[in-house]
Amino acid sequence: MPKLSRKAEGKPLRDAMKRAGLTGPELAEATKEVDPTGRGISPATVGRLAGRGKTARERCELETAWVIADALHRRTNAPLQDLFAIPTHSTVTVERSTPDADEG
C-alpha cells in the first residue's frame, strides 16, 4: 500500500484542524466516527502528522490519511489531496528476474 506525504510540513492539516475547531485529540476522536473498524487514529499519530517538531512524521499509510481527511472533510470540506500528496503512478516498465538487492 502506498505511503502518502503530508503537504507543506503539515500546515494544510493544521489549517483544516483550526477551521474545524478541532485539537489533535479531538480530531483523533472524530476519526472513530469515519473509520470502518471504529478504532480511529491515535492522538499520537495525529500529533505527529500535524506537528512541527522533532517527532513530526512526513509520511503515513493511505488508510491513515484517508480516515483523517474524511473526518476533517465532514467539518471543513477539505479533500484528501489538499492535505496529503498522492504518489504518482510508477513508470517502471522493466521486469526484473532478481530483486535489486541480489544484484552484485
Per-residue tens of pLDDT for the chain, all 104 residues: 679 999 999 999 999 999 999 999 999 999 999 999 999 999 999 999 999 999 999 999 999 999 999 999 999 988 999 999 987 766 666 666 666 555 55
Among 58, 63, 19, 59, which residue's Cα sits nearest to residue 41?
Answer: 63
Q: Is the pTM of this model over 0.85?
A: no
> Does 101 map to a domain?
no
- DSSP letter at 5 equals E
**Range of the structural domain that residue 52 is part of:** 3-87
For residue 68, what are the contacts with CB-CB under 8 A and spacing of at least 6?
13, 27, 31, 41, 46, 49, 83
Beta strands in 20-76 (DSSP E): 59-61
In a domain, 9, yes or no: yes
Number of domains in the chain: 1
